Structure 1
Amino acid sequence: MRIFIVALLTITLSTFASGQAYELTVRVTDGSTKTPLEFVNVQIEDAAINGTTDGSGTVVLKTDSKNFTVLASFLGYEQLSQTVRMAGPTQTLELMLVPSAQQIETVTVTSNDASERLSRPVMGVERLNIEAIELIPVALGEVDVFKGLQLISGVNSAGEASNGLSVRGGTIDQNLVLYDGAPVFTPTHLFGLFSVFTPDAIGGVDLYRANIPAKFGGRISSVLDVKSRNPTSDNFKMQGGIGIVSSHLSIETPVDKQKKVKVLAAVRGGFNDFIFKQIDRLKNTESRFADATVKLRYTANEKNIFTVSGFYSADFYQIDLLNQFSGITSDRNQYTYSTLNGTAEWLKIFNDRASLNTQLVRSDHKPRLLFPQADTDNVIEFDSRIQYHSAQSIFSYNTENGHRLSGGGQLIRYDIDPGGLDPDGVESILPVNLDTEQSLEASLFVEDEWKVSDALTLSAGLRFTQYAQLGPGTNRIYDNEEILDPDRLTETEEFGSGENMQTYNGFEPRLGLSYQLSPKLSFKAAYALNRQYLQNIFNSTTPLPSSRWKLSDNNILPQKATLYSSGFYWLPGDKGYELSLEGYYRDIDNLLEYKPGADFFLNPTVETDLIQGQGVAYGIEAGIKRRKGNFTGEINYAYARSLNTVDGPTFNTSVNAGQQYNGYFDQPHTFNLNLTLDDQKANQISLNFVVQSNRPYTVPNGVLQIGETPVPLFLERNNARLPVYHRLDFSWRIHNAKLEEKRWVGDWIFTVYNLYGRKNAYNIYYQPRTSGAATAETSGSPLESFRLTIFGAPVISLGYSFKFQ
């Protein structure tokens, strides 16, 4: 495949490069605010010539026609058509889009426009909008970004209460999750049931899972870029909703008389204890959460726009279970975690071709784990912290000969407190404070998207990152680099504050190609290399909020992944259908795994419980979508494998005796069906149907008898698979039932999750039999197994949302 892609790039570059007779520069602005609009799709009617606007609202189109019609379309705005007569070889066209007051056509998962998917040299990129997300039937009726993403081929969850997503077989921490440019380290609420992003504030969701743009780095699987919407209204607006799980409210309004300063403030809160109290086995379970987004936008003039945004998220939940951590016991465990992010951005527009975007970001994540002690007021507390600071500047420039250039730099600093334990007066527990970790990542990047001809478009990007782990800290050196064991520790090196403890660096190339075989059919290919210097360490299917984050050091090497992908995109007829077929192959070096019996909690030498190996992920994804008419939807199928190999010199440094084994998110077959019927008046009915191979899990290879107690013996990892997962969901949305034009418009949303009550297995676990010795009916095993199901019955919810302006 590598040779094929290289050969194809060479042939197409030499064969199809050609000049154009006319060049039209199009600048698109918001008709009410006069601010530039990014990601607007602009095309020449009845021709395979199109593009999307950059950060300054500008795109350049090249054509050999003197007279033609330009179409501009963007979600939330009325489509604009403009006839153009070229007066010379170059010309500039100003377009102002008017916000749409009508109900937007239902779209589930889509790029800006089908023609963009056809022509641009990007693969594995999907875009969601909030109107589509609101239609997806989900558990407890919550608006959820993650559930929308799970309709995409190659995007799965570890289960119905999973803290994150797996993209093309990758682990959860291999995804970079950003909200207004700031990372979100625990992106879910309510035990992992739905995402933390404030629903009323979401502007757009972009998922990159193939040739990730060069401006992004630090993760090897995907980038999820969530952006809050910009406040643009000249009048006061309010919207919100009331539901079983949570309620939410947002306002948008200008602040000054000139309406140059506008603000968006949105908040959501959930208090769910009353739900759990209705279920006897959950009567002591508690859960509360909240999130809020505030965004202030100042348009100084048409060439200078300033934006400041803030995000806060907080969770508390209590599980009435007996858990032990390093000798700590409690009849219940309490988890609390919060995120406080801030982003400041300045967009400087020099002219129709050039702009500069500068961004400052801060993220502060604080997880805590509490152990209330029975019959006392003592609460043992474990807390940790991740602080992230970033400065980034990107310069964009569109040349006269069809190049869309961008480049810049980024500086990131991590400050990680792995954790400390406060015994709160419990004499049997000693206080612990793990050493802090610090690092700097300095990156330079450049990217070029070049429309070589009407048929061929290329993209090439390059990112270089210099990573440095900084003191204060200690480097531990072992006598064998492959066997990290406390007994093999031979030397320690102490470093003072700011001293360089360990460095890594490397280039990360990104390539893309799109060649239109016909006006309706295109072939695409992509290549990307990515490195990851920050890992989330956990030895369960999904990490807890208190799971440990670890920087690369002299013992833990950065993970590295190389991805190859290619595919076809076809737009048959004029009925709004899109067909796609895409294949990919990913190599992973220094994949992070854990030793048998690993315990990361308060471990000062955590590297001695970690091992690293190799991984491969490959698959084929096929999809068909319909975007026009009353009946819309999509069908996706993916065949995907994720396989790991850890071949160390000893039993403790290898997995499955060094043989290849299934990765934790190896789910070979996934089928997603999403259909929406919209009568274009008041009713929207949606159905989701999901079928997938369930994830691997580990079953005992035997039993070890210790006294009278049988103990499961695990010699292999991921040697079995949970039963097939399938589920049907239903949603009915009644919009403005009286069909009246008024300032207050309300919607009722009725949802049934897991319509036919499938008892899908989240996990299967084993323990000694409580009913006596093993019998022939139980195949002679002294163990019995239990299946854990999260939602084993239909989950019905009813919500109400409103908009006022």
Structure 2
Amino acid sequence: MRCFTLLLTLLLGTCVYAQDFTLSLRAIDDETEEALPFLSVQLNPGGASGTMDEEGKLKFNLRGGQYTIRASFTGYADYQGVVLVERDRNFVIRMEPTSELLETVVVTDQNARLDLSRPQMGVERLSAQELESIPTVLGERDVLRSLQLLPGVSAAGEASNGISVRGGTLDQNLLLMDGAPVFTPTHLFGLFTVFTPDAVGGIDLYRGNIPARYGGRVSSVVDVRSRTPNAESLILKGGIGLVSSNLSVETPLGQSGKWNVLLAARGGFNDFAFSLVERLQDTRSRFGDATLKLRYRPSEQDLITLTGFYSQDFYQVDLLTTFGGVAATSNQYAYLTLNGGLEWVRLLSDKLSWSTQVTNAHYAPELRFPQLDGESIINFASTIDQLTLRTALSGDENAQHAWSFGLQADQYTLDPGRLDPGGSTSVRAIDLENERGQELTAFVEDTWSVNDRLTIGAGLRFTYYRQLGPGENRIYTPGAEVAQINLESTESFASGETISSYSGLEPRLGISYQVGVNTSLKASYARSRQYLQNIFNATTPLPTSRWKVADPNVGPQTANLVSAGISHVTGNGKYAFRLEGYYRQLIDLLDYKPGADFFLNPTVETDLLRGEGRAYGVEFTANRRAGRLTGEINYAFARVENRVEGQDFGTRINRGDWFPGYFDQPHTFSANLVLDEGKTHELGFNFVIQSNRPYTVPNGFVDINGTDIPLFLERNNARLPLYHRLDFSWTINNLKRQKRDWTGEWVFTVYNIYGRDNAYNIFFQPRDAGTPPLGIFSGSPFAAYRLSIFGAPVVSLAYKFTFIPTKKK
């Protein structure tokens, strides 16, 4: 009987495994749940392989049995799983996002353990879902403000025009939107970022060993990617708020399934809000932005993507009625960003892909001066155009090597500024000469899994830069101060001629060694150069601040960064901890002379100084990504110091000694916590406390004709008061829990709950009888004044909706 039973079992098993079944595979991004088209899949045994369609789906007809599934895709970790096929099966392949060399960290409970083996340092990723849970000022979902909760990332203040990463200046960050640079990333006096909220799919922040495919900045890279349009159905999203309203649509086009599109737009008209405050009656502000993404799949091996980004601002202030010597009733700022890109990705094989992308970034700021007579408006305008072409070949071999090789060419065209008198007879027209630069780059990078414990990520970038004519090279006396008095000669160059050139290697290296199941040690090194720089002598640059290409007198900045750290994940994967230390050396740091004026200055090099900088610190992160209460706690100790020795008193800062940089903030603590009360309520809290920025106070007084005038001999010799604030958000989603096509949510936020009057700046100017000063210098006509942006709680309420029509059966 036992023999008969055994024989029957074997016969039945043979019959089952001799049958054909359908295995339906679907590939999705493990973080966003979005479909992944064109993903390569291989089954073993048997060696069956194929590529996902545009909806991330693939079917196999197989004999019954157990199969190992292997999948690979550029930007994602290799996948390996096992499936038992004894009937028709549906199987989901969940791909963990990475990058091609030094993978980004997706801080979730699913992949926290994968971070242990990755050779990256100082890399973070925020998804669109995480952005929605972070309270922000006036309820606007904001990329840069969300990044400021991470260790080593700070701002110049609550109205700053960007971020500082590990003490770097704002222009030392490369901000990309779908591969094209964004030069002014903020709206509304610097309060919000320009990236259309409903179009943002994810953000990668690289502040350590930046992958070799990135270059051109010495501090960090912020890579913002737009969402992948939905390929299955129409999705309509929108919102109405006190500051702005927005609308987005994503949908397939036609019946072929080869086309799909995402279009998102936002607009803000805030004049009414300023009219409620007497002091701001003449203040005006309005802004708008839009993002377009069109995807086309002509074949199973090809994907073509067209992207566009638009942002425009206008605001008027009467707090400053003179600028660059031009008097006006008010100042009107207007600036436009218009970017576009076209990318073609082709799958050459299951393990090899090729991509080519061309992008163009156009930035056009204006500054208008309405005159007292009410008839003429003096106009200052400038432009930046950057055209980029890049191509790369990527592959992965036997799950041990993931490599990429590429070429890139950048063309810079800058109009530094032109002044149109607009009919005014008291102002002469000025038109500065255009500046042009060209940067050619080759890069190679590889992630090598040496064994189960050791992973090495190595990259090498070579750049060749040249400044192009037409233009001139001003030659100053060697060893003397760069000043008009020391100008020896001027050399002219025709169009296309090389005025100056720079080149060099930029090695990148990351090592991860797993000392145990839950712990790894890491170390990294990176060198980078910056050939395009923003020149300003304020705490944060204005949208109209001067940009400059490298030339014989203003060379590129070079940074060398070393990092080391330890990462640990608890046994259940619920908690993750990271400790990193770093040291960055900056060569050819740009600083400015006292009283420098860069507005329409044809020889800006005479107001600039060259020095060196150093930044060092330790960053600690603890996060919890499972359960009803999730969040992250960060602490950073960081110092930033500069030194400008110079030849004499006029070219030396603080006697040539090291002095605090403008973003030197030694201690920063932040906490971001989210309490999910179920399907309808979500509570979010932010708390930030940090050492504030340095600023300059007088060293003494000089008696001039019986009047005490403050004397400034040192720079950044005092520090603003301690900064801290608490924010809160409450999201109510689908309160009635109804399953319907239209779902809405209310978002209530309070920024700065307890009304901390944080100082944005302390400045010195002639005494104003209507404004009480902080301090008066003896009998001096000058006094100290304190500027705060949000000295009281800021409350906002917004309504957001999503519409997904039910498919008819």
- Mapped to 1, the partners of 2:485 and 2:36 lie a distance apart of 67
- Mapped to 2, the partners of 1:616 and 1:678 lie a distance apart of 42
Determine which of 381, 386, 389 is the counterpart of 1:391.
Answer: 389
- Offset, 1:95: 5.9
| 2:612 equivalent in structure 1 | 614
| 2:102 equivalent in structure 1 | none
Spell out the pairing of 1:114-153 with structure 2 (5 A cutoff).
114-153=112-151
Q: TM-score, structure 2 length as denominator?
A: 0.87
> Which residue identity is paired with 2:720?
L
- Mapped to 2, the partners of 1:406 and 1:85 lie a distance apart of 35
Deviations 1:664-697 (A, max 9, x none): 0000000001111002221000110000000001
- Tell me if structure 1 keeps the 8 A contact 2:27–2:95: no
- Mapped to 2, the partners of 1:663 and 1:790 lie a distance apart of 22
Spell out the pairing of 1:171-320 with structure 2 (5 A cutoff).
171-320=169-318
| 2:553 equivalent in structure 1 | 555
- Mapped to 2, the partners of 1:664 and 1:613 lie a distance apart of 14
Task: Identify unmatched segments of 5+ residues in structure 1.
Answer: 1-25, 43-52, 59-65, 87-92, 100-106
- Tell me if structure 2 keeps the 8 A contact 1:548–1:600: yes
- Mapped to 1, the partners of 2:79 and 2:214 lie a distance apart of 32
SS in 1 for 2:120: coil
> Which residue identity is paired with 1:546?
T
| 2:354 equivalent in structure 1 | 356
- Offset, 1:399: 1.4
Spell out the pairing of 1:780-799 with structure 2 (5 A cutoff).
780=778, 782=780, 783-799=782-798
- Mapped to 1, the partners of 2:591 and 2:95 lie a distance apart of 52
SS in 1 for 2:425: coil
- Mapped to 2, the partners of 1:610 and 1:335 lie a distance apart of 26
- Mapped to 2, the partners of 1:525 and 1:472 lie a distance apart of 45
- Mapped to 2, the partners of 1:301 and 1:382 lie a distance apart of 49
- Mapped to 2, the partners of 1:236 and 1:645 lie a distance apart of 57
646-655 or 532-541: which moved more? 646-655
- Offset, 1:533: 0.4
- Offset, 1:255: 1.1
- Mapped to 2, the partners of 1:223 and 1:503 lie a distance apart of 24
- Offset, 1:113: 2.2
- Offset, 1:137: 1.1
SS in 2 for 1:148: helix
SS in 2 for 1:114: coil
- Tell me if structure 2 keeps the 8 A contact 1:526–1:565: yes
SS in 1 for 2:225: strand
- Offset, 1:781: 5.9
> CA 1:73–1:273 in structure 2 vs 1: closer, same or farther (change >3 Å)?
farther
> Which residue identity is paired with 2:801?
F
The number of equivalent residue pairs is 742
| 2:601 equivalent in structure 1 | 603
- Tell me if structure 1 keeps the 8 A contact 2:630–2:674: yes
> CA 1:140–1:69 in structure 2 vs 1: closer, same or farther (change >3 Å)?
farther
Determine which of 734, 754, 758 is the counterpart of 2:756.
Answer: 758
CA RMSD of aligned residues (A): 3.0
- Offset, 1:67: 9.1
- Offset, 1:771: 6.7
- Mapped to 1, the partners of 2:525 and 2:655 lie a distance apart of 32
- Tell me if structure 2 keeps the 8 A contact 1:28–1:36: no
SS in 2 for 1:117: helix
- Tell me if structure 2 keeps the 8 A contact 1:35–1:299: no
Whether 1:373 aligns to 2:371 is: yes
| 2:37 equivalent in structure 1 | 35
> Which residue identity is paired with 1:511?
L
SS in 1 for 2:784: strand
Spell out the pairing of 1:639-678 with structure 2 (5 A cutoff).
639-678=637-676
> CA 1:619–1:56 in structure 2 vs 1: closer, same or farther (change >3 Å)?
farther
> Which residue identity is paired with 1:799?
A
Deviations 1:246-303 (A, max 9, x none): 0000001111211110010000000001111111111110000000001100012221
- Offset, 1:632: 0.4
- Tell me if structure 1 keeps the 8 A contact 2:110–2:573: no
- Mapped to 2, the partners of 1:151 and 1:71 lie a distance apart of 37
- Mapped to 1, the partners of 2:607 and 2:571 lie a distance apart of 57
| 1:22 equivalent in structure 2 | none
- Tell me if structure 2 keeps the 8 A contact 1:589–1:615: yes
Determine which of 475, 492, 495 is the counterpart of 2:493.
Answer: 495
- Mapped to 2, the partners of 1:80 and 1:739 lie a distance apart of 36
> CA 1:199–1:112 in structure 2 vs 1: closer, same or farther (change >3 Å)?
farther
- Offset, 1:623: 1.1
- Mapped to 1, the partners of 2:298 and 2:743 lie a distance apart of 33
Whether 1:415 aligns to 2:382 is: no
> CA 1:575–1:399 in structure 2 vs 1: closer, same or farther (change >3 Å)?
closer
| 1:113 equivalent in structure 2 | 111
- Tell me if structure 2 keeps the 8 A contact 1:109–1:148: no
- Tell me if structure 1 keeps the 8 A contact 2:35–2:56: no
- Asked which structure has the greater CA Rg, the reply is 2
Deviations 1:165-193 (A, max 9, x none): 00000000000000000000000000000
- Tell me if structure 2 keeps the 8 A contact 1:127–1:204: yes
117-126 or 752-761: which moved more? 117-126
> CA 1:713–1:68 in structure 2 vs 1: closer, same or farther (change >3 Å)?
farther
| 1:724 equivalent in structure 2 | 722
- Mapped to 1, the partners of 2:108 and 2:145 lie a distance apart of 15
- Mapped to 2, the partners of 1:27 and 1:522 lie a distance apart of 33
- Offset, 1:709: 5.2
- Tell me if structure 2 keeps the 8 A contact 1:109–1:152: no
> Which residue identity is paired with 1:320?
D
Spell out the pairing of 1:365-514 with structure 2 (5 A cutoff).
365-400=363-398, 402-514=400-512
Deviations 1:309-337 (A, max 9, x none): 10000000001123323321112100000
| 2:9 equivalent in structure 1 | none
- Mapped to 2, the partners of 1:551 and 1:482 lie a distance apart of 23
> CA 1:653–1:142 in structure 2 vs 1: closer, same or farther (change >3 Å)?
same
- Mapped to 2, the partners of 1:301 and 1:679 lie a distance apart of 45
SS in 2 for 1:200: helix
SS in 1 for 2:189: helix
SS in 1 for 2:606: helix
- Tell me if structure 2 keeps the 8 A contact 1:586–1:616: yes
| 1:572 equivalent in structure 2 | 570
> Which residue identity is paired with 2:520?
S
SS in 2 for 1:275: helix
- Offset, 1:732: 0.3
SS in 2 for 1:405: strand
- Tell me if structure 2 keeps the 8 A contact 1:111–1:117: no
> CA 1:394–1:356 in structure 2 vs 1: closer, same or farther (change >3 Å)?
same
- Tell me if structure 2 keeps the 8 A contact 1:322–1:329: no
Deviations 1:44-80 (A, max 9, x none): xxxxxxxxx9x9999xxxxxxx999889999xx9x99
> Which residue identity is paired with 1:390?
T
- Offset, 1:784: 2.6
- Offset, 1:477: 0.3
Deviations 1:360-387 (A, max 9, x none): 0001100000000013210000000000
> CA 1:67–1:666 in structure 2 vs 1: closer, same or farther (change >3 Å)?
farther
> CA 1:57–1:256 in structure 2 vs 1: closer, same or farther (change >3 Å)?
closer
| 1:802 equivalent in structure 2 | 801
- Tell me if structure 2 keeps the 8 A contact 1:169–1:641: yes
